[in-house]
Amino acid sequence: MAENKEKTTGRRAFKIYITILVVTIVLAFVALNAFLSLAESRYDLKADLTAHRIYSLSEESENVLHDLEEDVEIFTLYPAGGDDPEVSLLLEKYAAASPHIHVANVDPEQNPAFVSQFAPNGETISGYSVIVTDTAHERYRVYSLTDLKIYVGGSDGRAVKVGSKAEQKITSALYYLESGIMNRAVFIQGHGEVNPNTCAQMLTILDGQNYDLLTYDHLQKREEIDPSTDTLFFIGPGSDISDEEYEVYKSFLEAGGRAVVYAGNVSINEMTKAVTTNMERLPNLDLLLKAYDMEVNKDYVLGGETADAYQSANSLVCSLAEHAITEPILESGRSVIITNAGSIQFNTLASRGVTTTPLVYTSPTCYAKNLTPDQSSLEFAPGDASGPFVLGALAENDSNGSKLMLFTSSDMVRDTEIQRSGNTDLFLNTISYLNERHESIVIAQKQTIGEVLQFTSDRQIYAAVFVTVVAVPVVLLVIGFVIWKKRKGR
């Protein structure tokens, strides 16, 4: 009798123990889910499992956030019931990374007056846009969906999202708010120059650096150029600037302006390999260059040995002089490759206040062909000049603070060339140095097409919540109950 009573007491105690254990496990699991949910909201503990880290901040963004000293407000313009999960999750990362970032949503339909203050000229700000602004709403940047994402045309004619520029844009806006720097890249047109719209990678770099982009044709000018904010780009002009333009650009530089000249003596048809030469001298543009002790020779520099060139004799593997512009490239061990280049000649006597610094040059075994209208051979011939040749040089005028960078190839900014080895850094470091922007932000666009683990509907989100918060605890409870029944039957 006593033995049965002892067994019954033991089973009851075990039953109570198992019940308490199962309930404790279930409650602990639910509590852990609740805690992680709260902690995730406060400290951004989400794990980014996408292949291209589209929900993670780059080191460049984290550096900008670390340097923030003033509060920044980021407004999403989602209508009632609307949302953009990709952008919203990214903004949570920004808010978690800095106490100076404050994110809020404004329904543009319910608050049109609020939105209109960021469109002083009456522009239309579309829904799902993002506004990054200071707390006084005096300085700001507005980005639409097309600014934040990359779309291509699908087979059915609809736009398909294939990438994200959101981090690139938002971090650049933060840099602008913190530094107060808003520069313009002004592309001179009207003389057969390369159309900047055909150089998508160059524009992407400038856009990522928060440069406003302007095409300037003096005959059709709608805006004045400003030496305090603008950098002029002359990319492969085929004809000369007028006397009037010369005076405008000369005054611009004398007032402390900045310019980059990509001279273009030679172009090659990629299909036929035919060489086209520009024999025309450009007297007025030459005068601008000579004021900075430089001139472009009418020649064509080619590699004399295999080590001098990359893939073809006209794509030159260049050496770099030590300078703030070239230092990051030298440290990384990358090379600059310049295609279809001429050479630079320097004034024998330096002009007063002007300092010229050769930065990019070839090996001594390269040679240069003097261009002629009937150019038939690019092979080395007796009488051809031998290297080294300077292909890129910086000139600075200490008396007025102006700077001019000269390269002898207009191909350097084309998409196929600017992506080569150290060419991107050379372009970026050049414009950063000219504008005294010592910290540059380069954030790559992120591919999103083909990503997994992206919810496309509320139903999928609810299903995921149900599985993690309800289903898993219930399964544990059932397992515990089964174990208890087996123990009880022994």
8 A C-beta contact, residue 376 and residue 319? no
Number of neighbouring beta carbons within 10 Å of residue 170: 27
Q: In whole angstroms, give the CA distance from residue 387 to residue 99.
A: 56
- Identify the pLDDT of residue 202: 93
Question: Do residues 204 and 172 make contact, with C-beta atoms less than 8 angstroms apart?
Answer: no
Same structural domain for residues 68 and 9? no
Helix (H, G, I), strand (E, B) or coil at 121: coil
> Is 457 domain-assigned?
no
Q: How many domains does the chain have?
A: 3
Do 399 and 478 share a structural domain? Answer: no
**Is position 445 within any domain?**
no
Question: Are residues 245 and 354 both part of a single domain?
Answer: yes
Same domain for 299 and 150, yes or no, is no
Q: For the domain that residue 315 is a member of, what is the CATH number?
A: 3.40.50.880
Contact 246, 288 (CB under 8 A): yes
pLDDT at 49: 45
Q: In what order do the strands lie in the sheet with 159-164?
A: 149-153, 159-164, 446-447
The first and second tokens of residue 236, run together, are: 């492969």
User: DSSP H helical segments within 140-242, as ranges?
Assistant: 145-148, 166-179, 200-208
Helix (H) or strand (E) holding 336: strand 336-339
Q: Could you give the C-alpha distances from 400 to 87, 288, 323, 381, in angstroms and in order?
A: 45, 15, 21, 44
Take residue 126 and report the two structure tokens written for it. Answer: 């579309």
Residues 427, 473 share a domain:
no
CA distance 21 to 370: 90
Whether the CB-CB separation of 213 and 242 falls below 8 Å is answered with no
Whether residue 439 lies inside any domain: the answer is: no
For helices 200-208 and 423-434, give the axis angle rounded to 10 degrees.
50
Longest alpha-carbon distance in the chain:
122
pLDDT given at position 121? 81
Same domain as 393, residue 318: yes
Question: How many CB atoms are closer than 10 A to CB 70?
Answer: 10
Q: Nearest Cα to 339, choosing from 442, 262, 411?
A: 411
Find tokens 């650096």 and name the residue.
209
Residue 302 lies in a domain: yes
> For residues 179 and 167, what is the distance between their CA atoms, to the nearest angstrom?
18
- Tell whether 169 is covered by a domain: no
State the pTM of this model: 0.67
DSSP states along 50-111: STT-TTS--HHHHHHHHH--S-EEEEE-PPTT---HHHHHHHHHHHHH-TTEEEEE--TTT-
Query: Closest Cα to residue 303, out of 290, 318, 291?
Result: 318
The answer to whether residues 148 and 268 belong to one domain is: no
Q: Is residue 389 part of a domain?
A: yes
Q: Which of 434, 454, 477 is the last residue of a domain?
A: 434
Residues 34, 92: one domain?
Answer: no
Q: How many helices (H) and strands (E) does the chain have?
A: 14, 24
Q: b/e string for 453-474 if b means 16 or more Cβ within 10 A?
A: eeeeeeeeeeeeeeeeeeeebe
SS3 readout for 421-490: CCHHHHHHHHHHHHCCCCCCCCCCCEECCCCCCCCCCHHHHHHHHHHHHHHHHHHHHHHHHHHHHHHHHC
List the chain residues with pLDDT less than 70: 1-15, 17-18, 22, 26, 29, 32-55, 154-156, 267-276, 278, 373-376, 438-469, 484-490
SS3 293: coil
Please say whether the beta carbons of 264 and 291 come within 8 A: no
Neighbours of 274 (CB within 10 A): 9
Residue 413: predicted pLDDT: 93
CATH number, domain at 150?
3.40.30.10
pLDDT of residue 462: 63
Residue 224, helix vs strand vs coil = coil
Is residue 416 domain-resident? yes
For helices 2-43 and 85-97, the axis angle rounded to 10 degrees is 90
Domain encompassing residue 314 = 183-434
DSSP of 374-435:
T----S--TT-EES--EEEEEEEETTTTEEEEEES-GGGGSHHHHTSTTHHHHHHHHHHHHT
Closest C-alpha to 365, from 347, 385, 386, 348: 386
Q: Note whether 206 and 143 are same-domain residues.
A: no
Same domain, 15 and 99: no
- Whether residues 267 and 355 fall in one domain: yes
Does 218 fall in a domain?
Answer: yes
363 and 477 in a single domain? The answer is no
